[in-house]
Amino acid sequence: MRIFGKVRHRPSASWRQATDRAFTLIGDGRYEDAGALLTRAADLEPWLSESWFNLALLHKFRHDWEQARAAGLRAVALLDRESGAPDWWNVGIAATALQDWPLARRAWQAYGLKVPGGGQHSAATTEPTGMELGSAAVRLSPEGEAEVVWGRRLDPARIEVLSIPLPSSGRRWGEVVLHDGVPNGERVTAAGPAYPVFDEIELWAPSPVPTWVVLLEAATEEDRDALEKLASDAGFAAEDWSSSVRLLCRACSESRMESDEGDGEHLDPHDHSEPGHPGPLGHRTAGAGDLWVPERECGLAAPAGLVRGLLDGWVADSPDSREWRDLEEVC
C-alpha cells in the first residue's frame, strides 16, 4: 500500500456486513439500531468516504440536520471526485435545513451548479437565490396521504408551493418545502417540457395564508378563470379543484405522467394519491371535450380580511353568470 497518492481502499468484510445490515434496518424504520451499526462501520473504516456518507444519509432520514451536516462534511473531505458527488448534494440539503447559507452555496458549487452572487462578500452569506431552476412538482407527505403539488424552485433543495393543497393534506399555499435530491416521478406537458417530482423531506417555512373552500356557480370557464386571475392579481391564489385535481395510484404518481400546462405560474393538474390503479384504461383526467359544469368546488388562498371582498368583486363584475356560497376556512 502506498502512503502518498490515491489508493483505492477496499472496505473489509465486516464493514460491508454492518453496512448492509444497517440499510435493511433503515428500510424497516429502525433508525437507532441502524445508527449503531453505521457508527461501528465508520469506526472500522474512518478513511472511507462512504462510511460518513451513509451516516449523513441516516441523519437526513432522521431529520437530524446538525449530525447530517457533520457527517456529510467528513464524507466530502474524503472524496476523490471533482464534482457531481451526491455527498455534496446531501450537505446542501442539511445546510439549507439549518440555514447555513455559506455552506449551502459551497455545496451546490462543489456539486457543479452555478450560484449567482457567491463571489461577493455580502452575498456569500445569503440565501442562494437567482439560480433559476424553474418549476417542479413536490410530493407532500410522501409517507402518508401523499399529494403532488406544483411550485417554484427557490434553490436545489427548496420549493415554494403554488398549488392550493387539498384540505386533507393539512398544508397551505405559499409554504416552502425542503425536498430530496433524486426525483421520484416526472410530469410531462404537451408543449414538451418535463418536470421532476421531488419528495418532500419536511416543511421548511410555514405559510401565514389560510385555505378556504367555496362553492362557485360559474356559467362558463371564463367566469372561473376570472376568479383565478382576480386572486392572483391580489397576490394570492384561487384554484378550481373540480378540474385541477386528479386521483392517481402511487405507482402512476411515481412514474412519468402527462400533465396540462397551466398559466405558467402553476401547472395543472395536481395529484392526490389513491390506493389502487383503476384497470387497463388508467386514471381519468378531465379533458377539453368534457361538458362544463357550472358548480365548481374551488380552493382559495387569501387572508380572512380579503376573501369575501374578492368573491363579491368577482360576482360584481358579472352578476348574471356568477355566484358563490358555503365559504369555509379549511386549513
Q: How far is the CB of 246 from Zn ion (least distance, A)?
A: 11
Q: How far is the CB of 188 from Zn ion (least distance, A)?
A: 16
CB closer to Zn ion, 186 vs 323: 186
CB closer to Zn ion, 131 vs 247: 247
CB closer to Zn ion, 72 vs 185: 185
The CA–CA distances, whole Å, from 105 to 14, 111, 116, 128, 205 equal 37, 10, 9, 6, 19
Instruction: Please check whether residue 18 is in contact with residue 42, taking contact to mean a CB–CB distance below 8 angstroms.
Output: no
Give CA–CA dist 180/71, Å, rounded: 17
Residue 63 interacts with Zn ion (CB under 5 A)? Answer: no
CB closer to Zn ion, 36 vs 249: 249
Q: What is the three-class DSSP state of 327? A: strand
Give CA–CA dist 165/328, Å, rounded: 15
Q: Tell me the torsion sign for CA atoms 106, 182, 98, 166.
A: positive
Which span (46-54, 241-249, 295-303, 310-318) binds Zn ion, by CB under 5 A?
Answer: 241-249
The CA–CA distances, whole Å, from 240 to 166, 222, 294 equal 11, 12, 11
Would you tell me the crossing angle of helices 86-97 and 65-77 to the nearest 10 degrees?
150
**Of the candidates 183, 197, 182, which has an alpha carbon nearest to the alpha carbon of residue 148?**
197
CB closer to Zn ion, 208 vs 280: 280
Q: How far is the CB of 254 from Zn ion (least distance, A)?
A: 10
Residue 315 interacts with Zn ion (CB under 5 A)? Answer: no
Give the DSSP per-residue string, 190-243: TTS-EEEEEEEEEEEE--SPPEEEEEEEESSHHHHHHHHHHHHHTTSEEEEHHH
Cell numbers representing residue 84 in the block: 457531481
Residue 257 interacts with Zn ion (CB under 5 A)? Answer: no
CB closer to Zn ion, 192 vs 276: 276
Q: How far is the CB of 288 from Zn ion (least distance, A)?
A: 22
Which of 18, 115, 201, 252 contacts Zn ion by CB under 5 A? 252
Number of residues that bind Zn ion (CB under 5 A): 3
Residue linked to cell 392526490: 272
Per-residue mark of binding to Zn ion, 269-308 (x: CB under 5 A): --------x-------------------------------
CB closer to Zn ion, 102 vs 282: 282
Give CA–CA dist 329/210, Å, rounded: 7
**Of the candidates 181, 208, 196, which has an alpha carbon nearest to the alpha carbon of residue 254?**
196
Which span (87-95, 213-221, 252-260, 289-297) binds Zn ion, by CB under 5 A?
Answer: 252-260
Which span (69-77, 119-127, 153-161, 250-258) binds Zn ion, by CB under 5 A?
Answer: 250-258
Which span (95-103, 131-139, 251-259, 319-327) binds Zn ion, by CB under 5 A?
Answer: 251-259
Residue 234 interacts with Zn ion (CB under 5 A)? Answer: no
Which of 249, 306, 327, 330 contacts Zn ion by CB under 5 A? 249
Beta strand pairing call for 237-240 and 295-301 = antiparallel
Residue 229 interacts with Zn ion (CB under 5 A)? Answer: no
Q: How far is the CB of 248 from Zn ion (least distance, A)?
A: 6
Q: How far is the CB of 257 from Zn ion (least distance, A)?
A: 9
Q: How many CB atoms lie within 10 A of CB 133?
A: 15
Cell numbers representing residue 195 in the block: 418536470
Q: How far is the CB of 283 from Zn ion (least distance, A)?
A: 6
Residue 34 interacts with Zn ion (CB under 5 A)? Answer: no
Residues that bind Zn ion (CB under 5 A): 249, 252, 277
